[in-house]
Amino acid sequence: MLTTLLVSALLSQASAKPHAYTVQDQVALRRLLAFKVSPDGSRIAYTLRTTDLEANKGLIDLWLINADGSNPRQLTSDPGPDSDPTFSPDGKSIFFLSARGGSSQVWKLSLEGGEPTQVTKSPIDIDSYTMSRDGSMIAFAAETFVDCDTLDCTKKRLDEQAKSKASGRLYDSLFVRHWDTWKDGRRAHLFVTKTSGGTIVDVTKKLAADAPPKPFGGSEEFTFTADGKSIVFTARDVGRTEAWSTDLDLFVTPVDGSKAPTKLTTTNRATDTQPVFSPDGTQLAYLAMSRPGYEADKLRVIVRDWAKGTERSLTDAWDRSAGSLVWAKDGKTLYVTSDDVGQVALFGIDVASGQATRLFNQGSVSSVDASSGKLIFALDSLLSPSDLMSLPLDGKGNATQLTKVNADLLAGVKLGQPEQFSFTGANGDTVYGYLVKPADFDAKKKYPLAFLVHGGPQGSFGNHWHYRWNPQAYAGHGYVAVMIDFHGSTGYGQKFTDAINGDWGGKPLEDLQKGFAAALSKYPFIDKDRACALGASYGGFMINWMAGNWNEPWKCFVNHDGNLDETMAYYDTEELWFPEWEHGGTPWENKAGYAKHNPVDHVAKWKVPTLVVHGGKDFRVVDTQGLSTFTVLQRRGIPSRFLYFPDENHWVLKPANSVLWHETVLGWLDQWTKK
């Protein structure tokens, strides 16, 4: 827990004006999360996360604003999170998820006055929920033991486990742990109950799979049919192959639990996900990949005639991968987000022809709503955290900003100006990057460089406001920040994304080298003799790869959660489909695939001072990979430090840890780039 003195110091620094952007600003910023538009389109409910520095956590509350952006007001202020707002069909109440009663349940707040009332009374925590169109039923996800017939059975068993002096767990299959959690035998199941109360029915009873899928699946993975008689949901029901299968399927099951779930996507062995019904309920849209085992395959938009069961793929000819799916009110258009040349753009897909039209591409769009006759969406960029925006359905005209949730906190705060650039990279392809100038930029001066390498590897370091790897944190500290979207990045066509498969240290390294040279040539204010490179996840792997294969220009490295040994990383990770696809099979089937670009084979050439960072709850890239990297550095006598977070996963999430991370990383860069 932060001391009162430190809390006061952080708040003071975050509010001081004017000043260049700092990590204190970053942890103090409010974060606009999920939102919902009222049935009549007149109001928008949204969740806002603020930081409780004393408690070292985020607080999430409900807010309400008029659709024109006027009269924002806070609705809840409970110490626990109040999240996932949903309007009642008449628009007079908001349902939401809250732990205010000691357990995570669905609550209801009348907008006409009064205190929230508890709606669900599940004996165990509810993780996510959705409502039927008429508001009479709630479907929710909760973790239950598969062999339990009731939620009370699960609660009783959990209580017995808590009292037991024995701590051992016995496993019969993989996924003994996933992301940051050890498995205890429970599965995420879906339950249905009436909004008015009564019996709770497990509609996925005996299903030996998580619905929604772990670790990040939520309410976007299950929905009521228009008549409220059934639930369509996503699950990976593949038995013992779960740890190496990407075969997510759509299922349908009656809300009364009278029949076992029926699989809808019987022919596709790759991912099927995010089902959403058209306004009239006659069509089901969802996203689907084509290649089993590949988590970064193109997501196509599929439309299924609900009565006939026939399906059409709308976007085979569109060389982008669709994100969130939203129907237009008339059912003629689907609105999707997609990575698009350094942006996350908003597109309209004509349901009849499959024609994609770019509607907005100035930053990163998320959480789109089209139910009110306008497009309402959240937007962030390299210059701004997320706010709500409004845009005509055809995308014509200017977008209108509805919220300004950080206007006071960022008033007078100096941000570095971003600029996108391009160059000729590997294979003669055009490769894009971003540069962010120092906040206190003077064209007559030279500045040190923070060269940031994104993770994924199928991701993008684009026009997006990040709370962990934000270029503004470096720009505010006097650095030029440069990010390259190397081969393997998303938003440049599927062929470009696929180019990294089996070539982790090849074309991506060439792009980074050529991008570095292009930035030096284009921007004379970069001091090439004071450059450090930083990366996390795949970016951390790349830092280790660069250490043995491109170490001359660098004054220092920062490796966060990066692999040292790709062969061993296969054996100690959890989602085996990832290395099996990227390296062409298992290590015993294709030893050469893992050895082709393996940093551990080049440690004899290491010489660059390196800061290593790792989380103890990171089960994707296990902490022994970071410790092994530090062992090499120390044993070879290379200046190095090891920052270890026992309570963090693949990311650094706690406010105090974020401050420590940034201060340590920036201090490391300063140590090696000062003249």
Q: Which residues are catalytic?
A: 537, 618, 650
C-alpha–C-alpha distance, residues 634 and 609, integer Å: 10
The DSSP call for residue 153 is H
CB burial string 479-508: b at 16+ within 10 A, e below: bbbbbbbbbbbbbbeeebbbbbbebbbebb
**For 48, how many CA atoms within 13 A lie in the half-sphere containing its CB?**
23
Closest of 498, 578, 555, 564 to residue 670, by C-alpha: 555
Place of tokens 């628009």: 91
The count of residues in the chain is 675
Asked whether the CA dihedral 54, 56, 60, 65 is positive or negative, the reply is positive
Read off φ and ψ for residue 500, nearest 5 degrees. -85, -15
Q: Which helix (H) or strand (E) holds 408?
A: helix 407-410
Say which residues have a Cβ less than 8 Å from residue 29's Cβ, sequence separation at least 6. 51, 385, 406, 409, 410, 467
SS (H, E, C) 526-539: EEEEEEEEEEECHH
Residues with Cβ < 8 Å from 273, sequence gap 6 or more?
221, 234, 248, 250, 286, 287, 288, 299
Tokens 């990045």 belong to 489
Strand (E) positions, 393-491?
400-401, 413-414, 418-424, 430-436, 447-453, 480-485
| Cα–Cα distance, 494 to 559 (Å, whole number) | 28
Pairing verdict, β 82-87 and 93-98: antiparallel
649's enclosing H/E stretch is: none
- At position 104, the amino acid (one-letter code) is S
Whether the link from the prior residue into 553 is cis, omega within 30° of 0, is no
Burial class (CB in 10 A: 0-12, 13-18, 19+), 212: buried
CB-CB neighbours of 311 under 10 Å: 16
Find tokens 């062999």 and name the residue: 147
Nearest to 250 by CA among 229, 270, 227: 270
Query: What's the maximum distance between 2 C-alpha atoms anywhere in the chain?
Result: 74
Report the phi/psi class of residue 465: left, alpha or beta, with left for phi > 0 and alpha for psi in -120 to 50: beta
Residue 391, C-beta contacts closer than 8 angstroms, at least 6 positions apart: 346, 359, 360, 374, 375, 377, 397, 399, 400
CA distance 31 to 384: 11
CA atoms within 13 A on the CB side of 60: 19
